Structure 1
Amino acid sequence: MNRRNFLSGVSAAIVISACGRIAKAATAEHFGGKTIFRFAIGSDWHYGEPGTSYEQYYADLEKAFQAYDKVYPCSFFVLNGDVIHNDPQLLTPAAAMFRKLHPRVFTTRGNHDMVTPEAWQQAWGFPLNHDVMIDNQVILLGDTATQTGKYVSPDVPWFTEKLEQYKDAANIFIFVHITPVKWTKHGIDAPEFQALIKKYPNVRAVFNGHDHDEDGVKILDQKIPFLFDSHVGGSWGTPYHGFRVVELKADGTMLSFVMNPYTKQGEQTFARRAAHK
């Protein structure tokens, strides 16, 4: 699969400015702008869910993503929660399989990942709340569920510490399974977390799993985009299994779209937020 095949089907995108208004239509030049950082996100594999082809779902994702990654290399892939379906014993084989997808994978715990913090650490080699810096780009992966599957707010004290620690980083990308704004049927309202992230202009985006039927973008107070990626497995949701790609451009804009799973859809470009005066 070559670059031309991937670019075919690129639709008109929109640019959302820092205040949330549509600024202008994206051009071919915008799509062809120099990319300085690229990564991908999927969510909701539900390995082990009865009545689903969960191993085939992984095989399909691996085939589609690795074909894309071969042409457009990604720095990492995040599986944003619900790796498994309820049974804690499923985590070890699921993690072993998923690590084959990319040399650098990260995960968040979802409400169906009913495992202890110790089991999560053992399976993945990092804790439930985890921070990584790659090329001055910060990735914050937050826990939003309990061992029994209860939805909870992202850990505000942990995020407060990390956002302050990385306040001078180029960009911060946040990954949480449960949508922390009550936009969706399965989201929750986490006002303290919402207020916190609005204080840091280098928070470029928040990525959500959990809502299998959501594959678009919602904007928090005309400031921060929350991006959804449908699902890579499970028994319900959008009629396709896909993953989302994010590209940072040299001019500071952020381009994102969903792969469905071999064609692009929902392309949007987001401007950098203005720093506080």
Structure 2
Amino acid sequence: MKNRRDFLKTLGLSGAVFLSGEAFSADSFVASRSKVKLRFIVASDGHYGQPKTEFDTMHDTLIGHVNKFAEKEKVDFCVINGDLFHDDPSLLPQVKQKLDQLKTPYYVTRGNHDRVSDNLWEEVWKMPVNHSFTTKNHAVILGNTSNIKGEYLMPDLNWMRSELEKAKAQKNTFIFLHVPQVPWVEHCIDSPDLIKLFGEYKNIKAVFHGHIHSLDGLKMHNGLPYLFDAHFGGNWGTEYRGFRVVEVMKDNSILTYMMNPTVRILEEKISV
């Protein structure tokens, strides 16, 4: 019989790290497949139309792998977390047409390279730059962190507070912001008022960022997990182009991992 390490290698999980510090056996991993009550996918930074990149192929690859994943495992929704296209506003309808090939409902946030007006963004995507929804007793908040100039911004604080207040009625809240709001590395910004606000709402389970193509892991700040998913397009970043999967279990623990894009890596288990 294979031992735990061999089993995890077979699943592509040999580099697993578990935040809770709990033992997580091969048997419990297999059993967990039937305990997922919500599953979603996050992908960022497709940069459709960036010169000297194979952006069409990159998008086709992502869409193909996400659709194939969703055929095997039920996916409730996807979030494309910013930098959907690369600067040129005429690319917006084209990337919309491309992403519509996803077979799972999807939502978007605006990144600093998505340089269009708020009105055009809403006209094309049928959702405003600041958007939220609920599903299966979970709140999902998608905040705007840029503008038509491509500036790095803190999301509207009054809007965020209002959304977080409404989300208190839900079991969990997940927040998606393209530009990181803690200055971990270059090209992040520092938004202490926003981070303080997050600390007031205990049902926030994770914040998801794009923007930093070289980051594909987790950073903790004031007890809250901030998760990155590298990139699936563009001309720099991690060697692989993939997407993140998040699974909320019936006991409300959260399992998350990257797909690179065919093998699970960088597994994290977040305690209740």
Q: Pairwise mapping of residues 29-48 of structure 1 onto structure 2 (< 5 A)?
A: 29-31=27-29, 32-33=31-32, 34-48=35-49
Aligned to 1:137: 138
In the comparison of the two structures, how many residue pairs are matched?
Answer: 263
Unaligned stretches of 5+ residues in structure 1: 18-22, 273-277
CA drift at 1:62: 1.4
Tell whether the 8 Å contact from 1:6 to 1:262 is kept in structure 2 after alignment: no
Alignment correspondent of 2:253: 253
Distance 1:212 1:49 in 2: 15
1:133 to 1:6, Cα distance in 2 relative to 1, 3 A: farther
How far has the Cα of 1:29 moved from its partner?
A: 4.1
Alpha-carbon distance, 1:160 to partner? 0.2
Q: Does 1:27 align with 2:25?
A: yes
Q: Which residue of 2 aligns with 1:126?
A: 127
Secondary structure, counterpart of 1:173 in structure 2: strand
Return the offset for 1:144. 0.3
Residues 25-34 or 87-96, more deviating: 25-34
* Aligned partners of 1:26 and 1:269 also within 8 Å: no
> Does structure 1 residue 235 correspond to structure 2 residue 230?
no
1:72 is aligned to 73
CA-to-aligned-CA distance 1:11-67 (integer Å, 9 cap, x gap): 3633324xxxxx223222442321110000000000010000111001111121111
Runs of 4 or more off by more than 3 Å in structure 1?
4-7, 12-15
d(CA) in 2 for partners of 1:36, 1:27: 20
The letter of the residue matching 2:19 is: I
Structure 1: which amino acid aligns with 2:22?
A: K
What SS class does the counterpart of residue 76 from structure 2 fall into?
coil
Residue 25 of structure 2 aligns to which amino acid in structure 1?
A: T
TM-score by length of 1: 0.91
Superposed counterparts of 1:61-100, under 5 Å: 61-100=62-101
Residue in structure 2 matched with residue 275 of structure 1 by the alignment: none
> SS at the partner of 1:24?
coil
The 3-state SS of whatever aligns with 2:158 is helix
1:92-124 superposed Cα distances (whole Å, 9 cap, x missing partner): 111111011134110000000000001100111
* Structure 1 vs Structure 2 CA RMSD: 1.6
Question: CA separation in 1, counterparts of 2:235 and 2:62?
Answer: 16
Contact 1:14/1:24, CA 8 A, preserved across alignment: no
Is the contact made by 1:204 and 1:224 (CA closer than 8 Å) also made in structure 2?
yes
Q: What is the TM-score with the length of structure 2 in the denominator?
A: 0.93
Retained in 1: the 8 A contact 2:17–2:266? no
CA contact (8 A) 1:40 1:245 kept: yes
Whole-angstrom CA distance in 2 between matches of 1:101 and 1:146: 26
- Indicate the SS of the match to 2:175: strand
User: What is the alpha-carbon distance in structure 2 between the residues aligned to residue 15 and residue 171 of structure 1?
Assistant: 20
- What percentage of residue pairs aligned between the two structures are identical? 38
Query: Take 2:103 and 2:153, find their aligned partners in 1: how far apart are those partners?
Result: 29
- Once residues 165 and 7 of structure 1 are traced to their aligned partners in structure 2, the CA distance between those partners, rounded to angstroms, is 43
1:20 aligned residue:
none
Q: How far 1:225 moved relative to its partner? A: 0.4
Instruction: Indicate the residue corresponding to 1:263 in structure 2.
Output: 263
Q: Which amino acid aligns with 1:271?
A: S
